[in-house]
Structures are given as C-alpha cells and as structure tokens.
Amino acid sequence: MNPYISNWIKIIWNCSFDNTYKMAWAKALVEIAISNNKQAKVVIPFDDIAEKFLKYYWNQTIYFDLTQGANLKKPPEILTYTKDLIFEYQQVTGTMQPIRFEKVDFNKLKLNNSYIKTIRKIGNTLKNDVCWRFLNLDKKAYPLYELNKSNRIVTLHQSQVESIKAYYESLLPIINYRWTQMLESFNFAPRISKKVRAIDEDNVRRKSLTKFRKYLDTTNDKEKRVCFYCGEQMQNDEISIDHVIPWSFIFADDLWNLVYCHKSENSKKSNRLPVEADIQKLENRNLKLVESMRKADKTNSKHYDQLQLAIEKDYVRQFWISFKG
Ligand SMILES: [Zn+2]
C-alpha cells in the first residue's frame, strides 16, 4: 500500500468518537482533491471545505435529524450553525418539507447573508478545532497536507493529489463506514447506515402514500374521513396521510404507522416524536384496521401481513420507546 494512503487510513481508523468533524473533514478533502482536473498541487480554502460540511450536515439533519456528537447536552457547534440556517430556511419558505442542500437557492430566498455568515462560522471552527487536530494521532503529527492556518488554506501537493485520486475508491467507503459507526453510537434511530447511504447517493425519495388509502378507508370512511389527531371530520382538501412516528425515524412507509389527518396538523408536527396518548390511539386504530381489512376482504397484500406482524410484535410501542432513548 502507498504509505501516504496508509497514514490517511490510520488517522481515519483511530480517531476518537467525540464527534464526526474529522470524518467530514476527510471526506471534504478527498472529494475536493478528486474533483480537480489539473496535474498540479491543489490549494483548498477553508470556505470550500466549510461548504462541504454544511452540505453533509444539512442533508443528514433535514431528513433524519442525526446527532453528530457524543455529548448530547452540547452538540458540535457546526451542527448548531447548520440547524440555525435550516430554521431560517423553514421560516422564509414556510415549509417543513425537507430539501437537499444542493437544491436550495440561498440567493433567491434572500438568505445569502445568512449563508455567508454560516460558512464563515464553520470556517472558524475548522481553524480552531479541526484542521490541525486531524493530523495528530498519539502525539505524532502526520503530514497529510500542508496547513496555513492564518490564511485558512490547506495545500495538497501533486504527489498527494495523485495518491488520493488513485485510492479514493477505498478511502471514501472507509470514511463513510467510520462516520456511520459514530452515528450509530450517538443515535437511537434505526437504519442509520441505510440512511447515510441514501443521502450519499442522493437516493432519499419519499414515495406517494396514495396506495395506502384503500386500506385506511376500510376503517375511516371515505365519505366522512376523520382526523386522527383532533377527531374532527375533514374536508376533502384538508386531508393528508401522516406518519405518526415521523418518517425521519422509521425511514419507511408502513401501514401500521400511517393515518389520515388535517394537512395543517401534519406540517406543524414536523419531526417530533408523538406523545404517549397518540401511541395508545395508534395501537387501538391498528386493531380496528386489521379487523376492517379482514371484513373488506383486503387481506391478500403484504400491507395486511405487515400490519398483523406489527400488532403481534408490538412495533408501535417498541419503536416509540427505542426512539425516546
Ligand atoms: Zn385534525
């Protein structure tokens, strides 16, 4: 193995599980190095790295609200800056619908100032906490790049860029694997590696829930559909289908977790976990639903099987308890 790449792997493999900064830093440098076409050294301003950080954390937060540090009382500050910007985005657009960072037009939303401020703040953290720490392991410094802290730049020399280009197909999966392991130690939510991969491959697609209507309708009459949360009858244009335990936790559409409710209540809920009374209500609803699906002769589907399994295995409560932590 190329000794320079061995050192990269050594650092990635041995860094402590305090937070995910080092993984984001490593990933950003590798991505920037391989996207460069020139046969020369690559000079990387901290701002470019900060933008990558913002992209990674934005996407992992807005879809799945993943915790990026071991100390739950004091989240890593870059995550806090990212969340502040997401909050501003939600205020300005009035939507809780998640969106990939790459698709947000900060200029058009007149959020360019906030964006620049966020990049600057992330850059400060990179300068103070990340850029030099990454090179140190067991009181030894590894020369993976040249660092100019005061000018906020990282330089990768030509031979280093060439090595990274030759080995990135091994490096990136190792970085992602370590990052995922960290997230699994910080987060209670399931399917972390599936989530991280989906974000990485731009594969987070939320499918239409219309196909569940015919099942939900068996217990919640088409003519007068009732809202799961407030119990009132809804007008046709107010109806939405909601994941009682948020999609960002479950990362799947399961009939046992889906209900009709007012659109307005759905968008207000965002990614919060339900209260126990709603869990109880959902358990009762599922018992009724399985019964009414039987009566309506809609038992020949995987959704019926899954619903029955969920009741037998007590999924609603099990999931809820595990997410509460
Ligand atoms: Zn309602």
- pLDDT single digits (tens) 147-201: 999 999 999 999 999 999 999 999 999 999 999 999 999 987 778 888 888 888 7
CA of 99 relative to ligand 1 center, distance in Å: 26
What percentage of the chain exceeds 90 in pLDDT?
Answer: 74
Q: Is residue 49 part of a domain?
A: yes
Last residue of a domain, one of 152, 172, 200: 200
- For residue 202, pLDDT over 80 is answered with no
CA 233, CA 27: separation in Å to the nearest integer? 50
CA of 271 relative to ligand 1 center, distance in Å: 17
Among 189, 251, 70, residue whose Cα is nearest residue 79? 70
Evaluate the CA torsion angle 111, 61, 164, 166 in order and state its sign: negative
Q: What is the pLDDT of residue 204?
A: 66
What percentage of the chain exceeds 70 in pLDDT?
Answer: 98
**Number of domains the chain contains:** 2
Q: Are residues 218 and 196 in the same domain?
A: no
* Most confident option among 65-74, 125-134, 180-189, 247-256: 125-134
CA of 163 relative to ligand 1 center, distance in Å: 58
Q: Are residues 274 and 312 in the same domain?
A: yes
3-state secondary structure string, 141-191?
A: ECCCCEEECCCCEEEECHHHHHHHHHHHHHHHHHHHHHHHHHHHHHCCCCC
CA of 244 relative to ligand 1 center, distance in Å: 13
Q: What is the pLDDT of residue 200?
A: 81
Q: Are residues 28 and 142 in the same domain?
A: yes
* Residue bearing the bigger pLDDT, 260 or 187: 260
77-103 residue pLDDT tens? 999 999 999 999 999 998 877 888 999
CA 78 to chain centre: 15
Last residue of a domain, one of 165, 200, 235: 200
Among 52, 122, 113, residue whose Cα is nearest residue 88? 113
Q: Are residues 159 and 249 in the same domain?
A: no
- Angle, CA 56 vertex, CA 52 and CA 57 arms, to 5°: 115
Q: Is residue 130 part of a domain?
A: yes
- For residue 105, pLDDT over 90 is answered with yes
Q: Is residue 253 part of a domain?
A: yes
CA of 228 relative to ligand 1 center, distance in Å: 7
CA of 261 relative to ligand 1 center, distance in Å: 5
Q: What is the pLDDT of residue 248?
A: 77
- Pairing label, strands 258-262, 239-243: antiparallel
Q: Summarize the confidence of residues 57-65 as an average pLDDT.
A: 90
Angstrom distances, CA of residue 239 to CA of 110, 217, 224, 245, 303: 32, 12, 11, 18, 21
Q: Are residues 38 and 171 in the same domain?
A: yes
Full residue range of the structural domain in which residue 298 is found: 210-324
Q: Are residues 196 and 243 in the same domain?
A: no
- For residue 20, pLDDT over 90 is answered with yes
CA 195, CA 127: separation in Å to the nearest integer? 29
CA of 1 relative to ligand 1 center, distance in Å: 61
6-15 residue pLDDT tens? 999 999 999 8
Q: What is the pLDDT of residue 218?
A: 92
pTM of structure: 0.74
* Residue bearing the bigger pLDDT, 97 or 40: 40
- The answer to whether the beta carbons of residues 311 and 287 sit under 8 Å apart is yes
Q: Summarize the confidence of residues 136-155 as an average pLDDT.
A: 96
* Residue bearing the bigger pLDDT, 270 or 262: 262
Residue 325 — pLDDT band, cuts 50, 70, 90? low
CA of 324 relative to ligand 1 center, distance in Å: 24
Among 115, 121, 65, 56, residue whose Cα is nearest residue 85? 115
CA of 91 relative to ligand 1 center, distance in Å: 23
- For residue 252, pLDDT over 90 is answered with no
Q: Is residue 205 part of a domain?
A: no
CA of 270 relative to ligand 1 center, distance in Å: 15
CA of 215 relative to ligand 1 center, distance in Å: 20
Q: Are residues 104 and 123 in the same domain?
A: yes
Q: What is the pLDDT of residue 203?
A: 67
CA of 94 relative to ligand 1 center, distance in Å: 20
Q: Are residues 182 and 43 in the same domain?
A: yes
Among 60, 73, 76, 186, residue whose Cα is nearest residue 129? 76
* Residue bearing the bigger pLDDT, 132 or 246: 132
Q: Is residue 297 part of a domain?
A: yes
Last residue of a domain, one of 200, 229, 251: 200
CA of 247 relative to ligand 1 center, distance in Å: 19
CA of 229 relative to ligand 1 center, distance in Å: 5
- The answer to whether the beta carbons of residues 134 and 125 sit under 8 Å apart is no
CA of 265 relative to ligand 1 center, distance in Å: 6
